[in-house]
Structure 1
Amino acid sequence: MDLPAGLSDRDLTEGLARFGISGPVQYAPLGFGDYHWTVAGRWFTSVADLTNKAHCGPDALAGLRSAMDTASALQLPFVVAPLRTDDGETVVPLDDRYALSVFPLLTGKSGSFDDRFSDEERDEVLTLLAELHSHEPPAGTPVAPVDSDGRDALEELLDEPGEWAGGPYSADAREVFVANTQRIRDLLAEFDRLAAQVPPRRVVTHGEPHPGNLIRTPDGYRLVDWDTVGLAPPERDLALLDGDLSKYTELTGHEPVAAGLALYRLRWRLNDIGEFAVWLKGPHERTPDTEVAWRGFRETLATP
């Protein structure tokens, strides 16, 4: 994970002071998207790049605050909720681009996105999701749009790809994109067909309850990264689990809708295509992150 461009150590220190926190800071190159440090062996920070938070809405800072406030208000034992500043804020802007949230540092084992749950682990996660989905939504819980993030930008590129000259991967990425334009249009049409079949039921969903956002602690799983929290069909979360989902039905009485599961699995794919396309078209350098983006772009488009 690359360090955030243009963010100084002083910016981070001043942001931490808003939470009354000081001490040794160590960079933690984890995940993909946000930036993280541990502080004094007690706290875990998340610095969000607001230019990369399309899912938080047109005002990314306000959307991120709504999400973090929701996580804080849920008060569920498995929710790793953000701390609040003395004046009650869960998110502190560090400058026009970056914003800071702080969490307790947990002792446990984290996974990665590509990990697979055992049957027992899957049922444990389904139990956790059943409790979350049955919880009364806190006031101000964001609504998670069904449509894929960045769809407008993706459709603009389909209509007029234009020149891709932002960095070392741009030309090759454009060639791959143009060769797959009809396929992407077909995926968007399939997405719309599935969306029309999903019942209007809405519950509090996490949005990304994959193994990379779960930490196994001595007291069970803890769920992190709540910037994607939102009211949505339960299938938004359930789509990330493979295999038998009957435990969820047993606990909630809701049988997952096949069209909803297919919809949200396709949504992940379209999000990746759109995000990687915009990234690789625009200004970038050859870094570990852009290498991941280029590989992910090709693999996503190559998936049957």
Structure 2
Amino acid sequence: MTSVTVVGSVNLDLVARVARLPSPGETLTAHGVTRHPGGKGANQALACARLGATVRLVGAVGADPLADEALALLRAEGVELSAVTAVDAPTGTAMIQVDDDGETTIVIDTGANGLVSFSDSWGTDVVMTVLEVPDDAVAAAMAAPGFTVLNAAPAREVPAEVLRTVDLLSVNDDEHAILGRTADLDALPAVAVTHGSAGATLYRRGRATASAEPPPVDAVDGTAAGDAFTAALALSLAEGGPDDAALRRACLAGALTTTRAGAQPALPTLDEIRDYILENPAWLR
């Protein structure tokens, strides 16, 4: 069983359902508002656990009522939380709008996530991090032993010396463009670039080795699709899977996530991925 350390953010998501995303200055009436555990670090930790890995999360929450709610699903599904500390800052929150096509806008209040630190991966097989935590934590995570994975979101520049320690960089098209302004991404061992509904491409040292499209699904909420994609791809590659199969599995995980509302509640299990493949063999051709 693959072991994973995730150094990342923990949020409580406040999700408003709207017919369409508002224009600047416009006020819309929501269909309803729900609350879900979220945060890119926590999402990826839970995604890895649901895909069969043993997972430890390094993060921070506030000493407030939101913390237990934000950690509830992680705790219930066996993610190790002893390295999630309570700090003198509010638990992170995300304000999310989701339209009838599943498109989203997201505004984050960093809160306790701005105080995350990291020093020990406990010798796990995979170490993952995101850019919702401080630069020092990102750098320390990527310098740890093991297969290192950086999901460079939300988009910002990353120091070249940190990128040089990354085994797998997972980005969307915009993030890829931003990082590419100051770094030679073709020098990295592996870069996965997602293209929304058009799928994803995997590059090895600048050479495209695989491309995949997601299966057709009825999307209702794209909030955590990228987190499911990154988790599935990281585990597949760390376990030695071929690039094309790993990328296809990752696209499937992301697509299945969009079929349910919320971030963590929508993340698929290993059985759901296997069942989809068994029931839809034509998709693999």
For normalisation by structure 2, the TM-score amounts to 0.29
Structure with the higher fraction of residues in helix conformation: 1
Indicate the structure with greater strand content: 2
What TM-score results when the alignment is normalised by the length of structure 1? 0.28
